[in-house]
Structure 1
Amino acid sequence: MEVQRIENFKIPNAVAHEITQEELQKEYDYYRAQKVLETMFMFGMISVDEFNKISERNRQTFSPYLSEIMP
């Protein structure tokens, strides 16, 4: 295998996104809801299927910033 040098490669500038207080609150609420859900799952209070369904509902309800790439 031959190693080639890449020249004149520029990384595009990312557009900064300022997070509003409301978005920050939604992120926090989502995080807390997921932590409660994970605890319930760990103690056997809910099944994997229920965990996945509730996680999806949490993403819809709280709309976390990175929800588009979450499983």
Structure 2
Amino acid sequence: MREIYTQLKDLRLASNLTQAQIAEKLGSGGYTNKAVSDIENGRRKVGWSVIQDWAKACGKEAEIVFKNMKP
């Protein structure tokens, strides 16, 4: 299973955005190039709101999908 942090990085790269650009799009909240790097490398935890904002900055929509759930 891929970690969410790797998925966020892959999303940014697929959107042709630099770390500086995604930090700028995330706006206020203390997101610098270093913060983005820390997130992408799993050194900084993120909540659902950051994941949603990240996806929006990349022109996508975040959703939760549960796989392999047993009834």
TM over 0.5: no
Give the TM-score normalised by structure 2.
Answer: 0.29
Structure with bigger RCO (C-alpha 8 Å, 6+ apart): 1
Q: Which has the higher helix share?
A: 1
